[in-house]
Structure 1
Amino acid sequence: MAQTTLRIETPGWAVPLLKPARYKGAYGGRGSGKSHTFAEMLIEAHIMDPASRSVCVREVQKSLSQSVKRLLELKIEAMNAGAYFEVQEAVIKAKKGDGAIIFQGMQNHTADSIKSLEGYDRAWVEEAQSLSQRSLDLLRPTIRKPGSELWFTWNPSHISDPVDQLLRGEAPPQDAVVVEVNFEDNPWFPEVLRDEMEYDRSRDPDKYAHVWRGGYVANSLSRVFKNWRIEEFDTPDDVVHRLGADWGFAIDPTVLVRCHIAGKKLFVDYEAYMIGCEITDTPNLFLTIPDAESWPIVADSSRPETISYMRKNGFPKIMPAIKGPNSVEEGVEWLKSFDIIVHPRCRHTIDELTHYSYKVDP
């Protein structure tokens, strides 16, 4: 076979996924290009190793039309890689070597039938938010060949979904590379989808946050904040900045948010966010927000030692919050009195506003 040079344009967010890892995952909203990038990665892997064997998995697959087979066929054509593959009705085979890509639904498998996949090099779970715990428990120990990989792409649905608990939970596997990717990370995001995205952003913040930004599904009836929207804006030079900090460690994030008020509008323009942030790293984290060291910062008063450290390390205007018996409720009501506009770069603020909710009786 004549040697062919393939040129694959890899978006920046996918670069960490090019290195070997047991678990590889990409989650986020519509139009991010997750599936297209993983499809190209899969085709490239099979060209480099014609003996490679992969299974593309969904929780339910009643027909091949529900699989990523058609996407892979389009990628083979677009990448000018037809000389390497024989596309059959139910499988994509290597023309040189005994490699193959097959397509299966996990719901059809039993503990015995899934043993047929034990020699496979990788499994790609598309729409992984729908994967049940049973299916995940079957799949993980089955794909066990040395150097084998488990790939997951998904649009998050609920924090309790098994794939989120595995790869975004409190203790994800050590050998895991997981990236968040949304439409703004896709250099080939089409204008027709941009129009759809802007329509949802202007009319339905819950839908926009879930569909386009990969946020979890929100219960609009229990949602506390309904007085906000996502919108790009430029911050005037003459505003008074208000900054608030919360301390975290372990699984809780350390956070700094910057905002300003104009009439009855509250604009959130920058955020800093890190899980597992050491106290010595906190000054540099806060410095990612422009001029944060120059403005007063109201911080969680439960950590006076952290406030003291920050004062001695570049943030002399930081002060503890004054908390009363109803400070949380009063703070919520104060925020609800504004029309809140959040800049799209403040992803975690968007997530908090979307999911901050009243407790609902079961």
Structure 2
Amino acid sequence: MRMQTIRLSDIVAPHFYALHRDIKRHGHTYYWLEGGRGSTKSSEISLEIPQLLIKNPDCHAVVLRKVGNTIKTSVYPQMQWGIDALGLTSKFRFKTSPHEITYRKTGQKILFFGVDDPQKIKSIKLPFGYVGVVWFEELDQFSGMEEIRSLNQSLLRGGPKYWEFCSFNPPKSQNNWVNEEKLFEDPDRLVHHSTYLGVPREWLGERFFDDAEKLKEKNARAYEHEYLGKVTGTGGAVFENVSDMRMSDELIGNFDRLYFGLDFGFAVDPLAFVACHYDAKHEDIYIFDEIYQQKLLNKQAAEKIAAKAGRHRILADSAEPKSIAEMQSYGLRISGAKKGPDSVEHGIKWLQDRGHIYIDKRRAPNTYREFITYEYEKNRQGQFVSAYPDKGNHAIDSLRYSLSEVMRLHNISRFSKGAFGL
């Protein structure tokens, strides 16, 4: 088997050596891998799971995400990477409908599920054996320990021993349920913290380290959270980089990179239009105008928007193609913003990473209010969870749409170097 000719030291970051030995001897049942961006914690888990299955022929594995449609772009390719890095690709069979990986020699399976379809988890049928390995990716996106315990009751049964992996970037708020839970001592749980600083530079590439240093200089608190995985906040505020700035007509007249976004609404939700400037060099956003109004007909809205945006391009919610077409007929240069399965989360995290979001609350009072009051969701215990409520965020969505192409180009530039599987 080719796996025997590959040194784990060539594919496992040094800060995981002791953890690997503990997993190998089954020192614990529950392994919580927390850390910052680029720590390769997900890569480590994707290397451990195939080895555990091979050494425990009665075991199968289940990999969970909170939302099922993120599997195909996250944990499934991550598991493919881990198997390939071990030199075992030919030993496994890969299937995508549904997502499933099978060890050819024994028929052991790695199954993938989103918790948004719990019935599938409860009705898992295995050809033999039991679920001995479970991986919760992005643990902080789950609603709390009550949900985790319920899932474990469905999954971890009928076998002599288990390994459960939970990977996550520690949420900002200490009041988040994940940060609170890990404070409780559990002799059967090992919490491991890692950062990119323990990863060989060539695995991540110089660009990754340059970006980290750039954020460290620009926003030390954001760097500590994003890259070092530190808990940096005590409340539930999503945006901690927002400032009020009085913007003069002269300042606005000098803005050269203008972006306009539109989130549709009518009866209950307002139509929200936002105008901003993006300073790419300093990664600062300047929001200087808005329209925020209920019960605006498309023709009325188009007239108001034209008065502010002129012939500039506007990116709107692509879920409203009929409204977009109607506004185009009124002369607006408007089109739908491209979305992906994680577009809300990626967009908000990108906004969080900017140096500053400056808002003139005299010119855009509703936008300012949304940004400074927008908080993470809470579970039934009143603890913050790493989920974004779909309310009170109309101007926030509008800003995401306006800068969606900037975000996409930024991500293409950042990942074009071909970073190590994370």
- Give the TM-score, by structure 2 length: 0.48
Q: Deviations over 1:310-352 (max 9, x none)?
A: xxxxxxxxxxxxxxxxxxxxxxxxxxxxxxxxxxxxxxxxxxx
Distance 2:49 2:79 in 1: 8
Distance 1:114 1:220 in 2: 34
1:300 aligns with none
User: For the structure 1 residues 135 and 117, does the alpha-carbon distance in structure 2 shift closer, same or farther, using more than 3 Å as the test?
Assistant: farther
Q: Deviations over 1:157-176 (max 9, x none)?
A: 1333333333x22x232111
1:25 aligns with 32
1:206 aligns with 221
1:58 aligns with 65
Superposed CA RMSD in Å reads 2.7
1:153 to 158, 167, 177: 167
- Partners of 1:25 and 1:152 within 8 A in 2: yes
Gaps of 5+ in 2: 242-422
2:190 aligns with 177
Q: SS in structure 2 opposite 1:101?
A: strand
1:106 aligns with 115
2:137 aligns with 126
Distance 1:115 1:100 in 2: 15
1:194 to 209, 218, 226: 209
Percent identity over paired residues: 21
1:238 aligns with none
- Give the TM-score, by structure 1 length: 0.55
1:39 aligns with 46
Distance 2:132 2:161 in 1: 7
Q: SS in structure 1 opposite 2:175?
A: coil
Q: Does residue 83 of structure 2 align to residue 76 of structure 1? A: yes
> Map of 1:251-330 to 2, 5 A cutoff?
none
Question: Shift in Å at residue 185 of structure 1?
Answer: 1.5
Q: Which letter does structure 2 place at the counterpart of 1:125? A: F
Question: Shift in Å at residue 204 of structure 1?
Answer: 0.9
Gaps of 5+ in 1: 224-362
Q: Which letter does structure 2 place at the counterpart of 1:141? A: Q
1:229 aligns with none
- Partners of 1:156 and 1:214 within 8 A in 2: yes
User: For the structure 1 residues 85 and 200, does the alpha-carbon distance in structure 2 shift closer, same or farther, using more than 3 Å as the test?
Assistant: same
Q: Does residue 147 of structure 2 align to residue 135 of structure 1? A: yes
Q: Does residue 105 of structure 2 align to residue 96 of structure 1? A: yes
Question: Shift in Å at residue 62 of structure 1?
Answer: 1.8
- Partners of 1:6 and 1:79 within 8 A in 2: yes
User: For the structure 1 residues 135 and 107, does the alpha-carbon distance in structure 2 shift closer, same or farther, using more than 3 Å as the test?
Assistant: farther
User: For the structure 1 residues 221 and 123, does the alpha-carbon distance in structure 2 shift closer, same or farther, using more than 3 Å as the test?
Assistant: closer
User: For the structure 1 residues 86 and 203, does the alpha-carbon distance in structure 2 shift closer, same or farther, using more than 3 Å as the test?
Assistant: same
Distance 1:162 1:50 in 2: 35
- Partners of 1:57 and 1:123 within 8 A in 2: yes
1:16 aligns with 18
- Partners of 2:71 and 2:112 within 8 A in 1: yes
Distance 2:18 2:153 in 1: 24
Question: Shift in Å at residue 47 of structure 1?
Answer: 3.0
User: For the structure 1 residues 194 and 207, does the alpha-carbon distance in structure 2 shift closer, same or farther, using more than 3 Å as the test?
Assistant: same
Distance 2:240 2:113 in 1: 38
Question: Shift in Å at residue 31 of structure 1?
Answer: 0.8
Distance 2:167 2:212 in 1: 20
Q: Which moved more, 1:202-211 or 1:72-81?
A: 72-81
- Partners of 2:91 and 2:104 within 8 A in 1: yes
Distance 1:37 1:185 in 2: 13
Question: Shift in Å at residue 70 of structure 1?
Answer: 0.6
